[in-house]
Amino acid sequence: MSKKFYITTPIYYVNDKPHIGHAYTTIAADVLARYHRQKGDDVFFLTGTDEHGAKVAESAQKAGLVPQEFCDQTSALFRDAFKNLNISNDYYIRTTDKRHQLTVQKFLQKVYDHGDIYEGVYEGLYCVGCEKFLTEKELVDGLCPDHKAAPQQVKEKNYFFKLKKYLPKVQELISEDIIKILPANKKNEVLGLFRQGLEDFSVSREKVTWGIPLPFDKKQNTYVWVDALQNYISAIGYGDDETAFTKWWPADVHLMAREIIKFHAIFWPALLLAAGLETPKIIYAHGFFSLDGKKMSKSLGNVIDPNELVKKFGVDATRYLLLTQFPFGQDGDIKESLFAEKYNADLANNLGNLVSRVLNMVEKYCAGQSDREVASPILLDGISQAIESLQFEQALKQVREALTSANLLIDQTKPWDLAKEPAKKKELDKLLAGLVSFLYDIATALLPFMPSTSEKIMGYLSSARIIKGEPLFKRIT
RNA sequence: CGCCGGGUAGAGCAGUGGCAGCUCGCGGGGCUCAUAAUCCCGAGGUCGGGGGUUCGAAUCCCCCCCCGGCAACCA
């Protein structure tokens, strides 16, 4: 019986265009999804877009669109970007989907009936011009930066979730790794949040018009985070398709960037407990990019569009380059100028050229005939282990090292000399068969990372008459 | 004392107790199957600073300096 594997990315807020950070998380999730499929697991891989909230409504207005149209447009940008990156998600959820909205209402009703949502008062600084609450941080000299006006202290009726009631339980689940938070330093960070103290949080907004109405008070809309988190259960049929839901839930991995870990590690499990559901197994928070030492931000104008990378390097190289910049769990700096360098060194020279030289020799010296041997468990096991612990750069490093040693082996054994002596034909055949098998293993290992390249290599090697073919990665000059 | 990262060769980064490594770049050499690719040798490091633990520290502990991020609604 095959194991089920349910993996998610965060759903991306449509207030922004897809950038390299979105691509990074989604590619990583895709690698895991493809790896598990390759292993024979039954995989459900979810990604999508988060579309409600005041900011979206505001952006829509600026764009001269009604919110739904605006969301349709931006959500499509994400969908296209992921298609470009060869992302193999099984479902693409949008929080404006009818099915999702119904789920959110069912879920909240359940929590409400359970007595864990109560009426309270939200107090904050409200800017009439923006028609929304501002945080202290957003203010400039105590004024709204857009309207140059002092915000008013305003109270509104809100519904609150009894987070505090569930904190001890959630803390226990995290401490005991029932909810496993990775990497380990992120677990410590989350446990630190418990020590600093956490308050009940508001699950609704009275003045935000673009959202899902609360089932028990239609005048209020669901707070966007509460809405968003539930994508993980609505996508697999909570309250709608019990068979599917039972099959997939709980999630095996929620993958995300580190800035949203609190919502996933604390708020989300607490809400799930209140609704009587299981908590996710692993919450993995990866690092952030900085670009040339600067924080990636729209105002600095240093945001990289993943579509541009794909145009320049191709899909597989883009996937490879993003995952090999720095260890997955940490933050790291990247320089766009180094991409081409790494592309040439690792992909064109090391991998691409090795494939070329092997294929060419088989074509020339063996009339395109070569037998393949069985896979080498040592190489593949090491790589599997690295992938399962989400050490993608480690996995790819092992591939790189293997390629280097194969290049060395060719130089040492000099097949071109063997080819000159008919007496050594057998030795030559055996050598090349070994290399062909080796490349097949490499292609197997690379399948989750670079699916098209991997298939291309396998195709070349499996052909009845092996020929040199086209270079896998052309050098960039 | 707010919390969390980071500071390792010219550049970019691995490495969490046992001779300091990888990629690029640089200098020299080899090979010719291959995408001017590949392979070998070499130069280049007080592992931010100081103190401590240890037979042994980039790695563990303490103090300090510098850089970045987070600090309740930021996807």
Query: What are A117-175's pLDDT values in tens digits?
Result: 998 887 777 766 656 666 655 565 666 666 666 777 777 888 999 998 998 899 888 88
Q: What are the φ/ψ torsions at residue A463 (nearest 5 degrees)? A: -65, 145
Protein-contacted bases of chain B (C-beta within 7 A): 2-6, 12-15, 23-24, 30-40, 67-70, 72-75
* CB-based contacts of A285, cutoff 8 Å, min separation 6: A181, A182, A183, A186, A256, A257, A258, A260, A261, A264, A329
The three-point CA angle A230-A32-A243 to 5° equals 45
Q: Give the per-residue pLDDT at A353.
A: 96
pLDDT in tens, A315-344: 999 999 988 887 787 777 777 778 888 999
The Cα A48–Cα A38 span in angstroms is 23
Q: Give the per-residue pLDDT at A157.
A: 84
The Cα A3–Cα A38 span in angstroms is 12
Any atom of strand B under 7 A from CB of A360? Answer: yes
From A294, A295, A425, A474, the catalytic residue: A295
Q: State, as a whole number of angstroms, the distance between the CA of A389 and the C1' of B8.
A: 25
Instruction: Judge contact between A203 and A73, C-beta under 8 A.
Output: no
CA-based torsion, A388, A390, A396, A402: positive or negative = negative
Buried/exposed A424-462: b ≥16 CB within 10 Å, e otherwise: eeeebbebbbbbbbbbbbbbbbbbbbbbebbebbbebbe
A295 given a catalytic annotation: yes
The Cα A386–Cα A427 span in angstroms is 35
The Cα A379–Cα A374 span in angstroms is 12
Q: Residue A240 to residues A187, A224, A233, A301, A444: CA-CA distances in angstroms? A: 33, 21, 10, 43, 38
Any atom of strand B under 7 A from CB of A338? Answer: yes
A130 given a catalytic annotation: yes
How many CB atoms are located within 10 Å of the residue A49 CB? 24
Q: State, as a whole number of angstroms, the distance between the CA of A195 and the C1' of B63.
A: 26
A100 given a catalytic annotation: no
The Cα A78–Cα A19 span in angstroms is 9
A264 given a catalytic annotation: no
Any atom of strand B under 7 A from CB of A349? Answer: yes
Across all strands, nucleotide nearest A416 (CA–C1'): B33
A311 given a catalytic annotation: no
Write down which residues 203-242 in A have CB closer than 7 A to strand B.
Answer: 223-225, 228-229
pLDDT in tens, A196-234: 778 888 888 887 889 999 999 999 899 888 999 999 999
- Concatenate the DSSP letters of all residues of A31-97 into one string: HHHHHHHHHT-EEEEEEEEE--SHHHHHHHHHTTS-HHHHHHHHHHHHHHHHHHTT---SEEEETTS
pLDDT in tens, A413-463: 999 999 999 999 999 999 999 999 999 999 999 999 999 999 999 999 998
Does the global pTM surpass 0.95?
no
Give the ranges where A314-352 is alpha helix by DSSP (H).
Answer: 315-323, 336-342
